Amino acid sequence: MELALRRSPVPGWLLLLPLLLGLSAGAVIDWPTEEGKEVWDYVTVRKDAYMFWWLYYATNSCKNFSELPLVMWLQGGPGGSSTGFGNFEEIGPLDSDLKPRKTTWLQAASLLFVDNPVGTGFSYVNGSGAYAKDLATVASDMMVLLKTFFDCHKEFQTVPFYIFSESYGGKMAAGIGLELYKAVQQGTIKCNFSGVALGDSWISPVDSVLSWGPYLYSMSLLEDKGLAEVSEVAEQVLSAVNKGLYREATELWGKAEMIIERVKRGQTQRPACLAFSVRLCQRHVRHLQQDALSQLMNGPIRKKLKIIPEDQSWGGQATNVFVNMEEDFMKPVISIVDKLLKAGINVTVYNGQLDLIVDTMGQEAWLRKLKWPELPKFSQLKWKALHSDPKSLETSAFVKSHKNLAFYWILKAGHMVPSDQGDMALKMMRLVTQQE
């Protein structure tokens, strides 16, 4: 385990401007406080396995970063880059056009983006044997990174620490959260772990796949024949999972995606909501190396960071990350969520109303399978309407919460909630972190 002390003394998003204009990036701007600062580095989590992280200190004009929470963001895939997608497309200070994001979470929290599993984004491995193959290894690697991070950044040891996630990142967040809880209890990691937020999460893959047909049919996006076709392959996925044939289940999941993608191509005039709901293929690991974002990450961002090895590119190992996790991909982790709840850890589930790959129907299905003793009381609660703009009468989301479990249903959002509904996502984060 090692941490090379390579940090930027410059607020990073300002560094981008001279780079893009072709000017020298050698000038250093001195900052009197930690606010507005960002740092990044690699941690060697195992032999031949190097994980990249990028931290932004909160920039709230009324509060010091020490008065605000620290949020770690985990992307999906597996193979999706937090430092790329989460940072520049969802919650970071700049969007992918390098323009300030009005709904950046940085105004309410410090942000830690981590490219995991190893091989994702700017993280990399030397040798095929170093890729993670299961959730246990993913969580173990993250414990090495978090121990190193909090040991070197003691200023964050007492700050409330939350793990927010998206898609497969939610599955990883559950496993990581449970291991972090144990590490904190044992005293091996010093941090103020305060909860996990599972966004559009791949907690029970088969429940999601089984709901695809009914969901699309209810939105008039499948006719009877299409529903039968999607439902048939979904049942095959269920059978494979029940038999413990998880690699086969992953292959069948891919077949189900292809069927829905074919249905999508067959639509000549598609409802506006379809732009959200069909993101399953556009946003998944096969398309993680979007040209525009890849050019940004492998161009100006790479030059800014300075520490990326010459033989590594952003997203270059993403496909290998997914392939190595194929056996683990379709395994459910409902039992881990149960353990989190039993331990008293705050668990937030949030979902985009118009997401397909992890639709709300599927989320509600696995929630009903929890063995948490308080589940009956939670289930009896009525949804409470939320408004992203207090002056507006339009409902932006629904929420219900009981004890240490909360569920947010974000309206007019797809798989990437902060990208689709930035104001509501920021409000939700503030509510989860007890700032509202």
Task: Report how far residue 23's alpha carbon sits from residue 20's, in angstroms, rounded to the nearest whole number.
Answer: 8
Catalytic residue among 167, 201, 211, 396: 167
Active site residue 415: yes
Active site residue 355: yes
Catalytic residue among 82, 415, 419, 420: 415
Active site residue 387: no
Omega into 117 within 30° of 0, i.e. cis? yes
φ, ψ of residue 65 in degrees (nearest 5): -55, -30
Local structure of residue 94 (DSSP, 8 states): B
CA distances from residue 370 to 164, 172, 234, 258, 376 in whole angstroms, order as listed = 21, 18, 22, 31, 10
Catalytic residue among 355, 359, 388, 419: 355
Counting beta carbons within 10 angstroms of the beta carbon of residue 88, is it exposed (0 to 12), middle (13 to 18) or buried (19 or more)? Answer: buried
Task: Report how far residue 212's alpha carbon sits from residue 102's, in angstroms, rounded to the nearest whole number.
Answer: 33
Counting beta carbons within 10 angstroms of the beta carbon of residue 394, is it exposed (0 to 12), middle (13 to 18) or buried (19 or more)? Answer: exposed
* Residue 68 and residue 35 in contact, taking contact as beta carbons nearer than 8 Å: no
Tokens found for residue 225: 């024949």
**Which residues belong to the active site?**
167, 355, 415
